[in-house]
């Protein structure tokens, strides 16, 4: 396997990408990969990508604008619609590469990106398969998951950041992860330990993002695109997910003609490490090899 830096531009902003290219076959199919909320491509994606490449699938992982090695200001801004543009830019970029089979393209997204791949597959022609891992599919679900006090604080933080934006000042930042007794975008019982476990040692990642995403999130509902998706899909569903209503994920899969779901009695972050990672990556690998035509 070779790892090749392969950047691209999305709406004029450079996004950093990494191509994991297997030794065999020539011109393999490719799986485009990106991470969840506030995360970078180095956060356990290499473990999945390297496993795919070891079995004849190329993988292309990238950082969204504003994150990781990608350009863009303000840093650490989370905007789902701009991230969708980055996904579309990554697809165009991959289709320009001579070393892969551009007729066999799969999508892999986890958490927030697990919702993104649904939107992207609905908008793009020629996608052969997708994997949606512990996906965020319904912004309205935050009203069921988080307390009224949390939602009130979130609204105040979001308004403060928007006011700073329209007055041309630096963003008002909030932590991306926190413990239950603190305010953060994700502060459920397993958020701090679970998210921290996927951050590589020595990472320069900062635990912060502009608070305006707190006002955007309710209007983002990837599940509304489900019926437009034509390609086969595999959903990895965490039944004990503290951040996503797993029943919404199952409803999303049920709306699709060619979707299968694997419901696991685990939490949101458990799929990234340990024995469960081995179980999940094998399921994803078998699905992708079948749908992308790799023996």
Q: Are residues 276 and 264 in contact, defined by beta-carbon separation less than 8 angstroms? A: yes
Question: Is there a domain that residue 278 lies in?
Answer: yes
Question: Is there a domain that residue 161 lies in?
Answer: no
Q: Dump pLDDT digits (tens) for 63-110.
A: 999 999 999 999 999 999 999 999 999 999 999 999 999 999 999 999
Cα–Cα dist 272/179, whole Å: 20
Question: Is there a domain that residue 235 lies in?
Answer: yes
Mean pLDDT for 234-245 is: 97
* End-to-end Cα, the chain, rounded Å: 17
Q: Dump pLDDT digits (tens) for 163-215.
A: 999 999 999 999 999 999 999 999 999 999 999 999 999 999 999 999 999 99
> 104 is in which domain, residue-wise?
2-144+222-292
Q: Is the pLDDT higher at 24 or at 185? A: 185
Q: Dump pLDDT digits (tens) for 100-147.
A: 999 999 999 999 999 999 999 999 999 999 999 999 999 999 999 999
Query: What sign does the dihedral 236-239-240-242 (CA atoms) show?
Result: positive
Neighbours of 135 (CB within 10 A): 31
Cα–Cα dist 99/94, whole Å: 9
The per-residue pLDDT for 83 is 98
- For residue 295, pLDDT over 90 is answered with no
Estimate to the nearest angstrom the gap between the alpha carbon of 60 and the chain centroid: 13
pTM above 0.75, yes or no: yes
Question: Is there a domain that residue 68 lies in?
Answer: yes
Q: Look up the CATH number of the domain holding residue 101.
A: 3.40.50.1820
Mean pLDDT for 278-286 is: 98
Q: Which two tokens stand for residue 240?
A: 């004990």
Mean pLDDT for 219-234 is: 98
The tally of domains found in the chain comes to 1
What lies within 8 Å, CB to CB, of 12 at 6+ separation is: none
Q: Which two tokens stand for residue 141?
A: 């679900």
Q: Dump pLDDT digits (tens) for 251-266.
A: 999 999 999 999 999 9
Question: Is there a domain that residue 215 lies in?
Answer: no
Write the CA distances from 109 to 2, 121, 175, 181, 222, integer angstroms: 22, 11, 23, 30, 12
The per-residue pLDDT for 64 is 98
Question: Is there a domain that residue 66 lies in?
Answer: yes
Question: Is there a domain that residue 283 lies in?
Answer: yes
Question: Is there a domain that residue 169 lies in?
Answer: no
Q: Which two tokens stand for residue 213?
A: 């995403």
The per-residue pLDDT for 206 is 97
């Amino acid at each position: 396997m070779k790892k090749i830096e392969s950047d691209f531009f999305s709406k004029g902003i450079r996004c950093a990408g990494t191509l994991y290219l297997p030794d065999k076959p020539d011109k393999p199919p490719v799986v485009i990969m990106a991470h969840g909320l506030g995360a970078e491509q180095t956060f356990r994606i290499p473990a999945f990508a390297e496993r795919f490449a070891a079995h004849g699938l190329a993988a292309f992982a990238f950082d969204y604008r504003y994150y990781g090695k990608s350009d863009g200001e303000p840093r650490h801004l989370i905007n789902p619609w701009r991230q969708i543009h980055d996904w579309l830019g990554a697809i165009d970029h991959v289709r320009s590469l001579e070393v892969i089979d551009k007729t066999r393209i799969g999508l892999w997204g986890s958490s927030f990106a697990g919702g993104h791949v649904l939107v992207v597959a609905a908008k793009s022609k020629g996608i052969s398969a997708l994997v949606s891992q512990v996906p965020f599919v319904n912004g309205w679900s935050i009203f069921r998951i988080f307390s009224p006090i949390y939602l009130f604080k979130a609204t105040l933080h979001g308004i403060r950041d928007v006011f700073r934006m329209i007055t041309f000042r630096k963003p008002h930042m909030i932590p991306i992860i926190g413990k239950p007794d603190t305010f953060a975008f994700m502060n459920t019982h397993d958020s701090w330990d679970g998210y921290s476990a996927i951050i590589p040692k020595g990472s320069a990642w900062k635990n912060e993002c502009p608070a305006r995403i707190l006002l955007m999130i309710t209007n983002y509902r990837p599940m509304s695109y489900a019926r437009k998706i034509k390609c086969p899909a595999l959903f990895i569903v965490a039944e004990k997910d503290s951040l996503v209503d797993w029943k919404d994920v199952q409803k999303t899969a049920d709306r699709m003609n060619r979707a299968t779901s694997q419901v696991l009695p685990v939490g949101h972050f458990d799929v990234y490490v340990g024995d469960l990672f081995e179980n999940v990556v094998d399921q994803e690998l078998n699905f992708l090899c079948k749908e992308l035509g790799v023996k």
